[in-house]
Amino acid sequence: MDARNTVTLSDGPRGLRAAAYLLGKGELVAFPTETVYGLGGDATQDRAVAAIYAAKGRPAHNPLIVHVPDLAAAETLAQVSPDARALAEAFWPGPLTLVLPRRADARLAEAATAGLATVALRAPAHPLARALLQAFGGPIVGPSANPSGAVSPTTAAHVREGLGGRIAAVLDGGACPVGVESTILGFGPEGPVLLRPGGLPTEVIEAALGRPLAGRDEAEGVTAPGQLASHYAPRAALRLDAAAPRPGEAWLGFGPDPAGAQGLNLSPGGDLVEAAANLFAHLRALDAAGAGRIAVAGIPDRDLGRALNDRLRRAAAPRG
């Protein structure tokens, strides 16, 4: 397909109607969420789910997140434990994904969960995502709308760069306010387990729970197939925790820049929320400017900084 065959839909009622109609026909429509753009497909249609794996070049063993409007819809698809219910009540709609036992009678394409006994569910907060879920009237699978392994999109233009010509449409809602993907929690024998740090800081979750979250290796029987080492990767190589750029390196700063640094800054004032919103767009911009190597300033490993450091470590990992 020609890249021009991907239609850009505006955020009014007509765009929403068109998006819902296309989803119903089994077509793929990218849509904005508060975290990143998702590649939407009808979660109940095998054909639509298969098309998502094909469009992204995603390995078939890596399951998708299913987007729902609310807890009631989640309960038709998964068994929601009291712990999970409390978290959903506290943080949905919002950037939190819960991995829960899939109900036997869940109306979901088998491939949406890649054959696992669990399903990842999230109720997004973005008004357009919510309007699309309402207009469509069913669950929508939505991995990040980028080719597998590449940097996640935070604008409709990013989606077109990566997937233009491979998907029917993109619903344009401007830039995503959070900028990094949702926090993913699983549930082990000891309670909630952090599978992926993300847009909802772990500190906020722990404060609500009144206890620390278990880390991934401490939990038995909880797996996150998508936690691949190399991911979110720009073309350029990355050098992390840099004090200053070396000759030939582009600079991605955080806080005050060192003398002579040429490049971009995630947040000159050292604000982690601003840095998260800028991360993926800045990596793309440095790539587009032809940087062969990017030196990245150190970022504090707290609040949204944990998600930023997680994405940067994966972006810097050897490519597989």
Residue 284 or 295 with smaller CB distance to ligand TXA: 284
Closer CB to Mg ion, 97 or 144, in the complex: 144
Phi-psi region of 248 (alpha: psi -120 to 50; beta: other; left: phi over 0): left
Residue closer to Mg ion by CB (options 156, 242) is 156
Only one of the segments 86-94, 144-152, 195-203, 263-271 lies at the binding site for Mg ion (rule: CB under 5 A); that segment is 144-152
What does the block give as tokens for 248?
Answer: 């030939």
Q: Any contact of residue 144 with Mg ion (CB under 5 A)?
A: yes
Residue, CB closest to ligand TXA: 226
Pick the piece of the chain touching Mg ion (CB under 5 A) from 49-57, 96-104, 137-145, 295-303.
137-145
Shortest CB 152 distance to Mg ion, Å: 5
The reply to whether 35 sits near Mg ion by the rule CB under 5 A is no
Sign of the dihedral through C-alpha 65, 69, 70, 73: negative
Q: How far is the CB of 200 from Mg ion (least distance, A)?
A: 16
Contact 147, 52 (CB under 8 A): no
- What is the four-CA torsion angle of 283, 150, 68, 174, rounded to 10 degrees? 40
**Among 253, 227, 235, residue whose Cα is nearest residue 314:** 227
Using CA atoms of 275, 280, 286, 290 in order, give the dihedral in degrees to the nearest 10: 170
| Separation in Å, CA 314 to CA 10, 43, 109, 249 | 33, 28, 30, 19
DSSP of 242-268? ESSPPTT-EEEESSSPPTT--EEES-T
CB of 116 to ligand TXA, least distance (A): 5
Residue closer to ligand TXA (CB basis): 250 or 275: 275
Residue 116 interacts, among Mg ion, ligand TXA, none and using kind-specific CB cut-offs from 5 to 8 Å, with ligand TXA
Rule CB under 5 A: say whether 97 interacts with Mg ion: no
* Closer of 90 and 228 to ligand TXA (Cβ): 228
CA atoms within 13 A on the CB side of 219: 19
Min dist. Cβ of residue 144 to Mg ion (A): 3
Of the two residues 118 and 202, which places its CB atom closer to ligand TXA in the complex? 118
Partner whose binding site includes residue 20, from Mg ion, ligand TXA, none (CB under 5 to 8 Å by kind):
none
List residues binding ligand TXA (CB under 6 A): 33, 35-36, 38, 62-65, 95, 97, 99, 113, 116, 118-120, 122, 142-144, 181-182, 184, 195, 224-227
Half-sphere exposure of residue 149, counting CA atoms within 13 Å on the CB side? 11
Considering Cα of 270, then 275, then 281, then 284, what sign does the dihedral take? positive
Closest CA to 138 of 31, 44, 13, 33: 44
**Which is closer to ligand TXA, CB of 56 or CB of 282?**
56
Binding site for Mg ion (CB under 5 A): 144
